[in-house]
Amino acid sequence: MSKHLIILATILLMPVLIAQVSEDGFVLFTPDELEWTLRGNGTSLVLLEGDPQSEGFYIQRLKFPPGSVTTPHYHDQDRYVTVISGTWYAGIGENVDRENAVPLGPGSYMKHPAGRVHYDGAKDEEVVVEIRGMGPVRTIFLEN
């Protein structure tokens, strides 16, 4: 699949969170109210705030099923990742090396600097990470 088709599919599959908004502007929801959207690579995504494809701040959560790993890729903007649950494995570079990926447990943080190639995923358990950044942001997957 070409990079352009992957980026287009990501945009079209971007979920929208329906949350309670108070008259004072507070947004409230519980984890069981999140509506995850399954993506083509097996991960699921939910958008909490903003939109990564539009101008401005966004927050999204990404769920990795056990055994999943992303194709090496980079983003054209910095992204800030916090592990919510499970142990997330983060690797740096163009070649996936699951044995040398760094394990990051709940509460751990990683910055993905713009333009720096990385991959990430889960081993034996489901993992949820929260990603923050400024849009618009593009994700560019390396050709295999």
Q: SS3 breakdown of the chain: % helix, strand, coil, rounded to 5?
A: 10, 40, 45
pTM of the model: 0.84
Q: What is the pLDDT of residues 56-108, one digit of tens each?
A: 999 999 999 999 999 999 999 999 999 999 999 999 999 999 999 999 999 99
The CATH number given to whatever domain includes residue 117 is 2.60.120.10
pLDDT of 18 above 70: no
Structure tokens at 44: 């699921």
Q: Write the CA distances from 127 to 53, 84, 103, 112, integer angstroms.
A: 24, 8, 11, 18
Q: What is the mean pLDDT of the chain?
A: 88
If one counts the domains in the chain, the total is: 1
Residue 38's domain comprises 3-141
Tell me which residue of 115, 43, 44, 46 sits closest to 79, measured CA to CA.
115
Pairwise pLDDT comparison (18 vs 47), residue with the higher score? 47
Region class of 37: left (phi > 0), else alpha (psi between -120 and 50), else beta: beta
Q: Please, are residues 107 and 85 in contact by the beta-carbon 8 Å criterion?
A: no
